[in-house]
Chains A and B, each alone.
Chain A
Amino acid sequence: MQEFFFSLTWLVPVFPFLAFIIIILFTQKNNKLSHSISIGSMVLSWLLGWGVVFSAITTPHLGEHPFRITIPWFPTGTSTFDIGIWVDPLMAVTLFMVPFVCLMIFIYSVGYMGYGTDEVDPHYSRFFAYIALFATGMLGLVISENLLTLFISWEIMGLCSYLLIGFWFQKNYKDPNKITPRQAGLKAFLVTKVGDLFLMLGILYLYSQAGSLSYADTLFNHEFLKQLASTPALPIFGGWSAASAIAALMFGGAVGKSAQFPLHVWLPDAMEGPTPVSALIHAATMVSAGVFLVARIFPLLNVVVELDHTNPAMGLIAFIGAFTAIFSSLIAVAQKDIKGVLAFSTISQLGYMIAALGIGAYVAGTFHLITHAFFKALLFMGSGSVIIGCHHEQDMMEMGGLKDKMPRTFWTFLAGGLALSGFPLITAGFWSKDEILAHAWHEFLHQGVISWPFFVWLLLTIAAFITAFYTARQISLTFLGKPRGHHAEHAHETPNTMTVPLILLAFFALTLGFVGIPEEIVGQGNNWLHNFIGHEYAATPLSIPIMLLSGSLAIGGLGIGWLVYGRKPLLQGEMDPLEQGMKKIRLGWLYEAMRNKFYFDELYQVIFIQGSIKLAEIFYNFDYKWVVDPFINLIARVSRGISDLLNQFDEKVVDGLVNLTGLSGITLADLSGVTDNKVVDGLVNGIADMTGWVGEKVLSPIQTGKVQNYLLIALISMLAIIGIYLVY
């Protein structure tokens, strides 16, 4: 039975892909048929996916013996590239999350894109085609058996992200500084490409070492990993081992995709896309692909620790994750856009997961990946419901008092918010976040105060408090008090297609944490999640003080947030109390910086965009004004000079000499005259002509912009290289 489901795993991404093809080619005109096909394909994927997941759960020792089917794909000289599927615990838990969340978002999109109303989107069918293609990419990434298909799926998602962020490409704003969906899509695409380049380098590096990209030959081949960990990397990586270097390069891909510092700038602007897209791509699935990748290559990181007890690449990962977590939670506090808060909250939570993997908390990081996907999708969809309910108003300062107008949205949003802030015991976010903090604490006790686990722990703990605070702020500003704008006054609850997915997700946001309760509480060997995915790594020991601390931080943050924003609700036109407070204690500049995202967009504008324009100018001048062209002209001039000189030499000296010789005998003189005229002149003029010709005709027009020239140069260079090869 289990084998049967496993052998069908490859179908999981095929269903949405077929849906994409059918919608794009045939059913674009028919909205109802299009969304039925899209959702239907996702239902099939979901059922089959959960079939695989439950088969995986009931298969004993799946971790030691992952299931693998491959078929030959294309031969590469001596070896063959395979394409295939890989079923292991990490894949199973991710496959639990992805199709379900995708399905919820697909259903929700029917309501959000205005099906059956007057405001139905003009490209409604296309939207469903794109999200189906996106689901193909994500599911393909999860089930793939080698890094090449993983990379292909990764890029499919990048493309879909671009298409979907820019989905409302016609939109323009009056304010020229506000980024349009078109630009936001482009920005996301280009920024993540920076990371993708590193991922590709990492994959190539691994291939150069292993001669294969299959998981079975590389990431799960312990002998090979050990050998890789004792191989020194290229000199550019300092004294790192090849394993660390490859992991660090591949982590670069995760930095781009999961929007970690310093490539985080694309994600907030990605909120220009429709809200289901924000929920699907920029909260639940695509951004977690980066974390999934780091979890995938965790054996590569871990093997270095086994040999050397420490791994500089993991230090880097942990530091970037922890720094991103705190820095973006600070930005989230000062955002006014309801989706802006969630965008930065997502970056911050992804930082948690990355940091967790960086300190070796494999289980905790994966756990948080899954729980976060559920509650962040819930929060995004809740905010989308608010936006639709308030007629596309996104500014929280204009909201308020929606609790009674949109009760379903409110209660589900509250559940998601509590999970995000880690409200003790009854929410999923508490268990996963607490495990990360406990692991960091444990590592810190293990390694001493002056070590990176300490900083990681400290930063993550502060970030946990801030998270609870901005969650309370968001819920209070949106749902409590009285309406502050006319949109909020006329708000209405959204249709069932939107609220039912919210309720289903809220259920998981509250209960999913119970699969990973530490075994000290539920009894030895009963931490199900750890037994399933992390049996080879040491369990995170329970630490009662840390659990108390993180629980009280969550409650404290929520409480203080409620005191500031909820107890005395904001009135219309009133300033944000936090802004008032910070201005009073002369921290207004900090608040400004937080609201402006610490000026990273402006910084990148100056450094990269204007920088590359400057660089282009410099190259232009280098080519035409300063060096290349003047140099070529100089050569031409010098050769002209030399030829003049030779001419003079010919006329004055040689002629004189010839005449002198001519005096000694007429025959000899005649002979010399002939030699002079024919040979010497010819030779001298020939040399002069040729150097002048080379200067003028060869070197100067070498940059012509004509493809034939370049081809010719390529041919001659190739012949020269072959010549050198033949000689030596």
Chain B
Amino acid sequence: MVPIIIFGLSALITLGAALAVVTNKNILHSAFYLVLAFAGVASLYVLLEAPFIAVVQVLIYIGAIAILIVFAIMLTRRIGSDDLIQRNAQWIWAAMGAAGLFLVLGWIVYSVNWPVVTQIVPEDTITILGQELLSTYVIPFEVASVLLLAALVGSIIIGRERE
């Protein structure tokens, strides 16, 4: 029973915070709700027995991405104030489209019979994950590092002040 309660709470926090992210009038508050949503997702990962992913979620999403977003909001002054209209003219259509998409996805989720297996998660997932990353997936792993380097260089070049 306990997992179900935790799941319910996490899902509620995640979705509620996410709704607040996209509807809040103050963009800075949105960013803080984003942290909450990320935390909810992290607890879902824990429930799914993926502790490493959960920790990475906290480190990268909350520790890096959300903070970066807060920084960006503060660097671009004026946009954080309450009196700016934060949603555009098509928001009602967007809401209907998103709701429609949710219905379609939900219908698919419930109409497909997922081939669930009953295997249990191995003891030491982190060790296996590390070995896999550096053996089977070593090339994508290196490519990802190159991607990060390129993004780093690219954002410095885009973001720096031009004389």
Contacts and interface: CB of A to CB of B under 8 A. Distances in A.
- The answer on direct contact between A and B (beta carbons under 8 Å) is yes
Interface of A: 708-709, 712, 715-716, 719, 722, 726
Given A712-B93, A712-B94, A719 B100 contact: yes
Say which size band chain B's interface belongs to: 10 to 19
B120 to A, nearest CB: 28
Contacts of A719: 97, 100-101, 104
A722 B93 contact: no
B101 to A, nearest CB: 6
A712 B90 contact: yes
Contacts of A715: 97-98, 101
Nearest to B96: A716
Question: Which 8 pairs from chain A and chain B are nearest by CB?
Answer: A715-B97, A719-B100, A716-B97, A722-B104, A712-B94, A712-B90, A712-B93, A712-B97
A715 B93 CA distance: 10
A716 B94 CA distance: 9
Given A708-B90, A712-B93, A716-B100, 13 more contacts: A708-B88, A709-B90, A712-B90, A712-B94, A712-B97, A715-B97, A715-B98, A716-B93, A716-B97, A719-B97, A719-B101, A722-B104, A726-B107
Contacts of B97: 712, 715-716, 719
A708 B97 CA distance: 13
Nearest to B108: A722
A719 B102 CA distance: 10
B100 to A, nearest CB: 5
Interface in B91-125: 93-94, 97-98, 100-101, 104, 107
Contacts of B107: 726
B138 to A, nearest CB: 15
A668 to B, nearest CB: 40
20 contacts: A708-B88, A708-B90, A708-B94, A709-B90, A712-B90, A712-B93, A712-B94, A712-B97, A715-B97, A715-B98, A715-B101, A716-B93, A716-B97, A716-B100, A719-B97, A719-B100, A719-B101, A719-B104, A722-B104, A726-B107
Contacts of B93: 712, 716
Contacts of B90: 708-709, 712
A241 to B, nearest CB: 41
A670 to B, nearest CB: 37
A710 to B, nearest CB: 11
Interface string B63-90: 0000000000000000000000000101
Nearest to B99: A719
B92 to A, nearest CB: 11
Contacts of B104: 719, 722
A712 B100 CA distance: 12
A24 to B, nearest CB: 15
Contacts of B88: 708
A489 B98 CA distance: 80
Nearest to B97: A715
Name which of B94, B97, B104 has the most chain A CB atoms within 10 A of its CB. B97
A722 B105 CA distance: 11
Contacts of A708: 88, 90, 94
A709 B93 CA distance: 10
A722 B100 CA distance: 10
A715 B107 CA distance: 17
Contacts of B100: 716, 719
Contacts of A709: 90
A709 B100 CA distance: 17
Nearest to B103: A719
A523 B36 CA distance: 88
Contacts of B101: 715, 719
A71 to B, nearest CB: 12
A168 B100 CA distance: 57
A428 B76 CA distance: 71
A694 B107 CA distance: 30
A663 B107 CA distance: 56
A694 to B, nearest CB: 12
A304 B104 CA distance: 49
Contacts of A712: 90, 93-94, 97
A25 to B, nearest CB: 13
A709 B88 CA distance: 10
A716 B88 CA distance: 17
A715 B96 CA distance: 10
Contacts of B98: 715
A350 B114 CA distance: 59
Nearest to A716: B97
Nearest to B98: A715
A709 B94 CA distance: 9
B49 to A, nearest CB: 28
A715 B99 CA distance: 11
Contacts of A716: 93, 97, 100
A483 to B, nearest CB: 53
Name which of B90, B100, B104, B107 has the most chain A CB atoms within 10 A of its CB. B90
Nearest to A722: B104
A726 B100 CA distance: 13
A289 B10 CA distance: 61
A671 to B, nearest CB: 35
A18 B89 CA distance: 54
